[in-house]
Chain A
Amino acid sequence: MLTDDLTEALSDAAAHPPFPLNITDVLARSRQLRRRRRTGITVVVAGIAGLSVLGALVVAPALSRPGLATDGHRTPIGVPHPITGAEALAAFSHWGPTRGSLAHDHAFLANVQQEWAHPTGPEAVSGPNTLTGSVRVLFAGQTPGGPAAVVTQDSTDRHVGLEVGVMTTVPGQGLSLWGPNDPSEWSESDVLNEGRFDTRQVSFTSGSGHAIVVLPTNPSDTVSASVGHSLDRAGRAVRAWKPVATVAAQPGVAIVPSPHPDSSWDTLIRVSRAGRLIDQGAVWINVGSPPVPTNALGTWTQINAVVGKDSGGTSVDTFAAWARLHGAADEPFGQAGWDIEGQFPDGSFLLIEQLWLYGDPAHTVILRESHNTWQVLSDTVTNRRARPLFAVRSAVVGGWLVAAGPRSIITGYRPPGSRRWIAPRPAIRDYSGPNGNTPQYSRKAGYLPTLAPTLQIRLVVNGKNRVVTTARPTNGR
């Protein structure tokens, strides 16, 4: 009988996993998710009868979300003077009357206010405890994906200033809310002081992602959008822009048709006033998971200190340094779940990640920060099957940066011709113990303090020894 055959075939096929799951990696990935929430937006899912809502977002921290925003150094074409955070917040504060076709639907507005105050549902978490003053509904209307709303409320945290929530209907998902997960962490973001928040629009995907709703802070501003990119011969993103009409029945509301649910991730929005471009940025909130290239790796490692001490973290500038190599500084891009960090004795930071423009292959990127400036040391398309995953010689850091790759470790290195293997100093993966200061070591990546032009690297790959001789460096700086 077919169903019996199915049960048997599926059970047999899955009977022998070739490798066990690593729970340590799971915890590392969880911490990574938590850490991203600190600098980005978070997803909380709440449930309320009759309405699904996506999105509550604290304005200021959201601006440090990679790819979303804007930074003090960005140079998007045609945007001569990015506005300051204070200007942007003032624009939100003086929004005007509620926009949208449901602006006078009292039952809907009550529903939205209730959800904002008390998120419900299976993944609901407490919102920030810094909300103060009245709740203002900026938008309440029908969208191609169903009813949606945008809410704002002041924050007692002077660095945050204002919190904005975006709610929209997500089919089959119940009420979903993007928002702050740990209120205590928001106060760490000196966003206004850094001038990060210079957006002049609220935007979110609607329904299953086939449309993007854009609300310019000034309803008479005009909107244009680019829903995808292609690459020129130099590998830089090229975009075509189309004007987006305001919905006739809903002044100040523009709907961008999205050709594919995933294309909203690769969309840039422009806002113009009186014919002058005043803002460019990615979509604030996208439905679902971002597109991930096939050569992206999961959380195969998470290393806090491949050299020296822990890295000092990342900022928008970190990734803008890479994005500028491939397009505009605010080009949207994705990140893999793993990273390798470190800090050299001179205080410069190191960050190694996989980054990609949406729709393109993933790159392994080595970034270094020194004196508040991020520099790309290496940028290559990832070969996910290569072992070592990468080995980059960099005169700037005075050595080789090597990562073994999934299910592999580095056990030694030597210049070709040498008989003696040198054991790399283990990287610090994490910390444990009652005080959280006992290092846990990893041999998945290493900083090798030699500038030998080539190296032999000894690895254990899937339990088997392997020796690899590196090619002479071509792209390391």
Chain B
Amino acid sequence: VDSAAEARFVEWAASRSGSLHRLAFVLCGDWHVAEDLAQEALARTALHWQRIESVEHPDAYVRRILLNQHQSLRRRPGWRLAGRFAPPEVSVPDSTEGYANRAALLAAVQQLPPRQRAVIVLRYYEQLSEAETASAMGCSTGTVKSQSHKALQSLRRVVKEEQRC
């Protein structure tokens, strides 16, 4: 990568690193793991930057890399992330009840299977359409719909149980 291209990459990466870090966090639920995921995705993007910036949409590319990295992470036996997803230490003011419900919801998202979680995050955090989500995940819109349906069903169950308590 020549220095001009590297400068363009650094500028692009700096502008995207925050959002990528946050996306990684809502996928994995741990800021340190998110840092690793986001850095890895950016590093892999940097490897092919000259081609990516000329022929592809870098944002879509790095998001796809991140999703793939996360899927791989979830397969690793040592990475047990369940239950680690909690509201941030620095949080907006909230009522105790709202905080508890939100924590339960976030924990439930964390318990979803990886593909369902990716669909939920892309649809309701990234605000992508079904077609955009399908493109990002490399699957059909039908798969997005079915995964989304199953995920929302699971989450509704959790919310209901939480309200019953």
Contacts and interface: CB of A to CB of B under 8 A. Distances in A.
B12 to A, nearest CB: 10
B interface bracket (residues with beta carbon within 8 Å of A) = 35 or more
A2 B158 CA distance: 11
Contacts of B61: 122
B92 A33 contact: no
Contacts of B76: 262, 289, 291-292
Contacts, number: 153
What secondary structure prevails in chain B residues at the interface with A? helix
Contact of B155 (A6, A19, A293): A6
A221 to B, nearest CB: 32
A16 interface: yes
A415 B17 CA distance: 41
A26 B106 contact: no
Interface string B85-123: 101111110000000011001100100000000001100
A16 B31 CA distance: 10
B90 A18 contact: yes
B43 A33 contact: yes
Contact of A2 (B22, B25, B155): B155
Given A17-B25, A21-B35, A27 B46 contact: yes
Given A2-B159, A13-B26, A262-B77, A172 B43 contact: no
B131 interface: no
27 contacts: A3-B124, A5-B102, A7-B124, A9-B105, A12-B91, A13-B85, A14-B22, A14-B23, A14-B88, A17-B25, A17-B31, A18-B89, A20-B18, A23-B14, A26-B42, A27-B10, A29-B42, A30-B44, A32-B43, A125-B48, A172-B138, A260-B77, A261-B75, A289-B76, A291-B77, A292-B79, A359-B78
Interface of A: 2-3, 5-23, 25-27, 29-30, 32-34, 122-123, 125, 172-174, 181, 260-262, 288-289, 291-294, 298-299, 337, 359
In order of increasing CB-CB distance, the 6 nearest A-B pairs are A289-B72, A298-B36, A14-B22, A30-B46, A29-B43, A21-B17
